[in-house]
Structure 1
Amino acid sequence: MRKLLTLASSILLLAGAATGAAQAAPPKPASYVMAQSDARAEVSGMTVAQATELQAQIDDQLRKSPGGTQISATEISWNGGNVVMEFPVPGQKQASLTSAKALGPNAARRPAAAGEVDLVASGTCYDTGTCQYQKCPYGWTDQWYCLYQDSDWGGRRLQWKDHYPYEQTLDTWNFSYQASGWVNTSLKTVVEVWGPGGQRLWFEPARDNFFSDPTHNSFVGWDANDKATSFTSYGDA
């Protein structure tokens, strides 16, 4: 009987230890939880280890650039969604496509009015606002311009859809001295990027017409690489 009682006690102790271990398990990082309902395949397939590494990067970015909100597993937005930073899933070179949440409900264009010439077929990416060039998004309604942390459009991507005629410091988004490439999908907005001492590092023209490729540069050159500190943009994004 004593042996049976001892065995039963041991089983209860082991069960209690297992329960305690389960209760003490750390919660999944926010990036992992958000990824489970993300429509982007490269995001929804993240492991817990990848999400943990990514969430640390996002938390660090939020500390260094106040006012932002994490809106998806890989994205932070500022200014009501007019500025978005996209992070690569750890192990991937390029940041993911912009999520539907970041594009917003107004990305799709309004229906053509009666008698209006309709240049865009319904259901195309121009119509839904989901076209992209090197994952910098655009459509009929919203056209973004993007800076890339690494050459060949790699690393973090910082993108805007408003224009800023007054100089904007990249310190606002913890992106000074980090840009290596760019894409400008806009038809009307041109962008000037500046470096230390007010030196103009490069100019981003607008697209020639609605169906032409966005203007772009996969590497700004050694003289300008990792030197951008601010920008101005003119026109209607």
Structure 2
Amino acid sequence: MVSLFGAIALCLATLTQANAAEVTDELQQEINDVLAKTEGGVQISQNEIAWNGGEVIMAFPLPGETHAPVSSSAAQRLQSKVSGLPLDTVEDVAPEPVEPEEYEEPVGAMATDSCPTQTFGNDWYCFYQYKDFGGRRLQWSAAYNHYVYFSSYDFENRTSSWSNKGGKVIGVYGRTVTGSDLSCTNDLWYEQPHSRSASASPDNQADCFTTS
């Protein structure tokens, strides 16, 4: 016979499992929504989507977290491949802490920059959904002499912080006509090599970018 305390403990455990499953389901639903709104994406881990064999990777915060973690082992294999490195190359470091004095605006105490490090080549650049490098992370390493549209990754008007860890200059632009990628010619900001901002300005207006 199950005691009263045992029954309570069992009930609490069941509720905890149900809550955990609900949180995990919410993350999967976010991923499903992005996959449904874009083309060519493949889920490569619990919290990551890759396009073009790892040329582009979107990482989501894990359940209960506010920042996307360092790339998973699956993502690191793809990063190694696109960087021309051995597939067992590993980035086993914590997200890089951010020093407030690096920015024009204050940075939260918990802000971290999880854009891939030079372990995978010194060319990675990332866009983040929220200020202080929070929320989803969308990352590239390749050069583009044409516009790359955030709408292809369900990320238009979502960039609130960014990190450019490579040697490229990243030009970021917004649309002059709502809903028209062809009008993405309005200069917003330029990311100099090896720079980053925990507070993009203007916020939530980036629609495309080029590199040089």
Do the structures match in fold with TM over 0.5? yes
Q: Using structure 1 for the length normalisation, give the TM-score.
A: 0.63
Which of 44, 52, 59 matches 1:86?
Answer: 59
Q: CA deviation at 1:165?
A: 1.1
Q: Secondary structure at the match of 1:137?
A: coil
Contact 1:108/1:139 (8 A) holds in 2: no
CA distance in 2, matches of 1:109, 1:63: 32
Q: CA deviation at 1:218?
A: 0.3
Q: Using structure 2 for the length normalisation, give the TM-score.
A: 0.70
Corresponding residue number in structure 1 for 2:211: 233
CA distance in 2, matches of 1:157, 1:77: 12
Q: CA deviation at 1:138?
A: 1.9
Change in Cα spacing, 1:156 to 1:140, as seen in structure 2 (3 Å) is: closer
Taking the TM superposition and a 5 Å limit, the aligned residue runs for 1:1-237 are 47-104=20-77, 105-106=80-81, 128-129=90-91, 132-133=95-96, 134-142=113-121, 143-186=123-166, 188-197=167-176, 198-207=185-194, 215-221=195-201, 224-234=202-212
Contact 2:76/2:90 (8 A) holds in 1: no
CA-atom RMSD, angstroms?
2.1
Contact 1:82/1:161 (8 A) holds in 2: yes
Query: Sequence identity of aligned pairs in percent?
Result: 34
Residue by residue over 1:182-227, the C-alpha shift from the partner in whole angstroms, topping out at 9 and shown as x without a partner, is 00111x22211001222211111112xxxxxxx1100013xx1011
Q: Secondary structure at the match of 2:25?
A: helix
Aligned length: 163
Query: Larger deviation: 195-204 or 74-83?
Result: 195-204
Structure (1 or 2) with the larger CA radius of gyration: 1
Residue by residue over 1:97-142, the C-alpha shift from the partner in whole angstroms, topping out at 9 and shown as x without a partner, is 11121122446957xxxxxxxxxxxxxxxx8455654110122443
